[in-house]
């Protein structure tokens, strides 16, 4: 009996103690919202501060604008990198030639007789062969699967099935280095691509390009090879074609191509930014790039009122060919060409 009483008494004591202890209430939602609001305000303040710093530093908001700004800064660095060693400008191109177009005199040469892949510089020869054939410029050519690049897998904005005039294809090939356009031009040549490549090599031979070989009309194959000296001959010949002079120096070009429902416009910018620079007087222009060839640029341009042929091959870095063109121009305008610049094999540091 006593045992039962004490047991019940213990139970009552436990219950009393439990009721006497303070109950832990769940936290209200209000402190959580408050903390969240503070965090949002803090992040908003940080974002405003970041935007203010960006605006103060001149950093544009859009991705495209930032990309353009970074490109301009890279170009500015290239422009500032001007050195003359032993009276010669230090270039980042492995092969280079500058020739006085009026006299044929060699003004500057760096590895002028070594063959190297020439990438899309090839398209100047493509243009000459197309124009030599006197094919109708307004003839419509339909882009096909056969024009797709399965070698380097480069992309194209020119859709398969699009019907474009030969003239527009020539514009795209020379201005934007459009590979699919160049491929379509060679395919539409009488006798097809095989006959086209034969005509390219015959043209090279007639120009005295004895160390040059062409295997396609795009330049995508690294087997398209030439020397800087040979390319100077090709640029000089290209200058005699009014159409090449006009087309290759355009800063941009728009064409209409069929879309799913109607025609839409494609805008192409010249791959040589100097064609949009009013400080340059350019008569012929073509750029080129594949991994094996590096960054290449050939031009006919006037510097100090003197017409020159400029060839720059295998430049290090995306903007180096433009930088080298400006370095040569600065060197020439400074009147430092007291002797022909001739370099031994290899790049300058």
Catalytic residue among 38, 42, 44, 120: 120
73 alpha carbon, distance to own chain's centre: 15
Helix (H) or strand (E) holding 266: strand 263-269
Catalytic residue among 93, 110, 177, 286: 177
Q: Give the whole-angstrom CA distance, residue 233 versus residue 329.
A: 20
Burial pattern 57-90, b for ≥16 Cβ within 10 A else e, equals: eeeeeeeeeeeeeeeeebbeebeeeeeeeeebbb
- Closest to 254 measured CA to CA, from 172, 161, 140: 172
Q: Give the whole-angstrom CA distance, residue 142 versus residue 180.
A: 11
Cα dihedral 209/245/197/176 (nearest 10): 120
Cα dihedral 255/260/261/262 (nearest 10): 10
Residue 248 designated active-site: no
The three-point CA angle 198-183-197 to 5° equals: 5
- Residue 53 has φ and ψ, to the nearest 5°, of -65, -40
Q: Give the whole-angstrom CA distance, residue 290 versus residue 296.
A: 9
Residue 123 designated active-site: yes
Q: Give the whole-angstrom CA distance, residue 219 versus residue 223.
A: 8
Helix (H) or strand (E) holding 288: strand 281-290
Catalytic residue among 32, 41, 48, 123: 123
Q: Taking a C-beta distance cutoff of 8 angstroms, is the pair 88, 341 a contact? A: yes
Per DSSP, what are the bridge partners of residue 97? 109, 311
Residue 177 designated active-site: yes
Catalytic positions: 120, 123, 177
């Amino acid at each position: 009996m006593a045992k039962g009483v004490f047991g019940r008494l213990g139970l009552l004591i436990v219950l009393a103690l439990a009721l006497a202890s303070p109950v832990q209430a769940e936290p209200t939602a209000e402190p959580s919202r408050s903390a969240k609001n503070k965090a949002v305000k803090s992040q908003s303040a940080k974002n405003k501060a970041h935007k203010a710093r960006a605006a103060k530093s001149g950093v544009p908001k859009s991705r495209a604008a930032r990309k353009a700004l970074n490109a301009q800064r890279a170009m500015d660095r290239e422009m500032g990198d001007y050195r003359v060693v032993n009276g010669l400008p230090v270039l980042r191109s492995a092969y280079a030639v500058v020739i006085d177009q009026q006299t044929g005199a060699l003004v500057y040469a760096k590895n002028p007789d070594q063959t190297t892949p020439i990438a899309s510089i090839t398209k100047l020869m493509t243009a000459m062969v197309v124009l030599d054939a006197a094919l109708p410029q307004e003839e419509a050519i339909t882009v096909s699967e056969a024009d797709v690049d399965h070698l380097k897998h480069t992309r194209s904005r020119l859709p398969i099935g699009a019907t474009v005039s030969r003239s527009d294809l020539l514009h795209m090939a020379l201005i934007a280095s459009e590979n699919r356009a160049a491929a379509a031009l060679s395919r539409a040549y009488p006798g097809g691509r095989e006959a086209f490549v034969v005509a390219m090599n015959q043209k090279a031979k007639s120009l005295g390009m004895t160390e040059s070989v062409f295997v396609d009309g795009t330049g995508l194959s690294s087997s398209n090879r030439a020397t800087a000296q040979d390319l100077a001959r090709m640029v000089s010949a290209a200058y005699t074609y009014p159409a090449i002079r006009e087309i290759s120096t355009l800063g941009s070009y728009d064409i209409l191509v069929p879309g799913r429902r109607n025609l839409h416009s494609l805008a192409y910018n010249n791959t040589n930014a100097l064609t949009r620079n009013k400080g340059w007087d350019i008569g012929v222009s073509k750029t080129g790039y594949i991994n094996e060839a590096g960054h290449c640029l050939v031009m006919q341009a006037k510097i100090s009122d003197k017409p020159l042929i400029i060839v720059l091959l295998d430049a290090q870095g995306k903007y180096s060919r433009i930088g080298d063109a400006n370095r040569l121009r600065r060197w020439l305008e400074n009147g430092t060409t007291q002797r022909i610049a001739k370099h031994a094999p290899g790049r300058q540091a």
